[in-house]
Every structure is written in structure tokens, then in C-alpha cells.
């Protein structure tokens, strides 16, 4: 199909699409096809290997030596890949934990590994061990919002509410548009009986997430009068 301006191969074969969740944004489809409805080739579904039975290693050639088998992704890369998949697909949890067990033995001082071990223990209800791993991750690495939030969660379960609060605030500073962390701060302040500050924090939350009807109901009860 001919398009204008002439010779616009990218515009035809790598079309852009709107991103619904981000205003004024588009994404380019980098799969180059002859026609828009061209199916994926059969090889797409047969690229798994014994080393990666449930993943496809895209573009491995640049990691290998000519004439030799392509190198497998590092364990840290696999941990991140399985971790992202396991968020929405529980069938990947076993693979994630298997890789994490290997990394606990081979790279125990890595901040990413320590953060992952902390989250594992947090989910298992071992809050003391979780806090230890998460502190170690923050001490040895730059620290990310999820690690601060996980450590705050562990400390809260251990009854150390005041100690958890600055960690929640740090997580919000690093990731201000995470509703879960902002809710954690509201709950933390309520548990500490800092009601005026909790109400102000709840108001700030609804400025960012006005569609949250449950949190708006909480604010209505706190104020004692309905809000539109």
C-alpha cells in the first residue's frame, strides 16, 4: 500500500498506535511485516530450549562466539524476567524461586538478590528475616521504591510503626504515583493516631487518585460530611 509522503517505509511497516494510559503518547510496532494481519511465523512458538523451557531468548547471537552455542541469559536476568511474569502468571513462581535459590548460593551479596529474598520471606510471613534481607539490600545498593516499601511492611508487621514511616515516605518520593504505598502511609498515620496528618495525607492521595471511591468514603467519614 502506497502512503504519503512517498517512500515512507517505516510509517507503513512499523505503524504507530495510541497508548491509552498515557496522554499524548504513541508507540511504534517494531515487528516489520508485509501486511498488517500477517501472522507470527511458526518458529516463534518453537524457540524454547532445555535451558529455558518456558522462555524465548530473543537476539542471543550478540552474546555468543561464532560457531558456538549462544550463551544463556545470566541468572540475574532470569530472576528479573521470571519476577515480572510471576506478577500476573502464578505458573512462573516456581521458576522464579528456583533461580532465586541458586542466586542465594552464588551471589548472596547482590542488592537485587537480597531484595528478592526479603520479599520472599515477607510473603511467607517471616518478617524478621525479611527485614534483615531488605536492610542489607538498601545498605549495599542504591535502593528502589519497592524495597523501601517492603521493609516498611515488614517493620509494620513487627509492630515498629514509627520506624516504618520514613521508609514509606522514601518509597513515595521515589515512586509518587504508586497508590499502594500512599495507602500504606495513610494506614501508618492512623495506627499512630496522627489523625489530622492522616486526613491531610488522604486528601493528597485523592488529588492524585480521585477515582478511588473507597478512599473517598474514608475521607467522608473522617470529615463527618459528604463530599461530591
pLDDT per residue over 10-28, tens digit each? 455 444 544 443 444 444 5
Distance from chain centroid for Cα 96 = 14
Domains (range + CATH), the chain: 1-40 (no CATH), 108-223 (1.25.40.10)
Long-range contacts of the stretch 47-51 (C-beta < 8 A, 24+): none
Closest CA to 188 of 221, 142, 213, 155: 155
Rounded Cα distance, 217 and 202, in Å: 11
Integer-rounded Cα radius of gyration of the chain: 24
Sign of the CA dihedral running 166, 172, 175, 180: positive
Q: Which tops the pLDDT comparison, 81 or 225? A: 81
What are the tens digits of pLDDT across the range 154-212?
Answer: 999 999 999 999 999 999 999 999 999 999 999 999 999 999 999 999 999 999 999 99
What are the tens digits of pLDDT across the range 64-102?
Answer: 555 555 567 899 999 999 999 998 889 999 999 999 999
Kind plus residue range of the DSSP H or E element containing 27: strand 26-28
Closest CA to 216 of 189, 183, 192, 193: 183
Helix (H, G, I), strand (E, B) or coil at 83: helix
What are the tens digits of pLDDT across the range 114-152?
Answer: 999 999 999 999 999 999 999 999 999 988 999 999 999
Q: What is the pLDDT of residue 38?
A: 77
Amino acid at each position: 500500500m502506497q502512503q504519503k509522503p512517498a517512500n515512507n517505509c517505516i510509517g507503513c511497516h512499523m505503524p504507530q498506535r495510541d497508548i491509552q494510559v498515557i496522554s499524548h503518547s504513541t508507540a511504534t510496532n517494531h515487528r516489520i511485516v508485509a501486511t498488517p494481519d500477517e501472522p507470527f511465523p511458526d518458529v516463534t512458538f518453537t524457540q524454547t530450549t532445555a535451558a529455558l523451557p518456558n522462555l524465548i531468548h530473543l537476539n542471543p547471537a550478540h552474546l555468543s562466539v561464532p560457531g558456538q552455542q549462544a550463551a544463556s541469559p545470566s541468572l540475574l536476568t532470569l530472576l528479573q524476567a521470571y519476577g515480572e511474569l510471576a506478577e500476573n502468571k502464578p505458573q512462573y513462581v516456581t521458576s522464579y524461586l528456583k533461580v532465586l535459590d541458586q542466586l542465594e548460593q552464588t551471589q548472596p551479596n547482590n542488592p537485587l538478590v537480597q531484595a528478592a529474598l526479603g520479599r520472599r520471606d515477607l510473603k511467607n510471613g517471616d518478617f524478621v528475616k525479611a527485614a534483615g534481607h531488605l536492610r542489607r539490600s538498601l545498605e549495599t545498593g542504591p535502593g528502589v521504591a519497592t524495597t523501601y516499601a517492603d521493609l516498611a511492611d515488614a517493620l509494620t508487621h513487627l509492630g515498629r510503626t514509627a520506624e516504618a514511616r520514613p521508609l514509606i515516605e522514601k518509597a513515595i518520593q521515589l515512586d509518587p504515583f504508586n497508590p499502594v504505598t500512599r495507602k500504606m502511609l495513610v494506614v501508618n498515620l492512623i495506627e499512630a493516631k496522627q489523625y489530622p496528618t492522616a486526613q491531610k495525607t488522604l486528601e493528597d492521595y485523592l488529588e492524585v487518585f480521585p477515582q478511588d471511591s473507597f478512599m473517598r468514603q474514608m475521607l467522608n467519614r473522617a470529615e463527618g460530611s459528604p463530599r461530591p
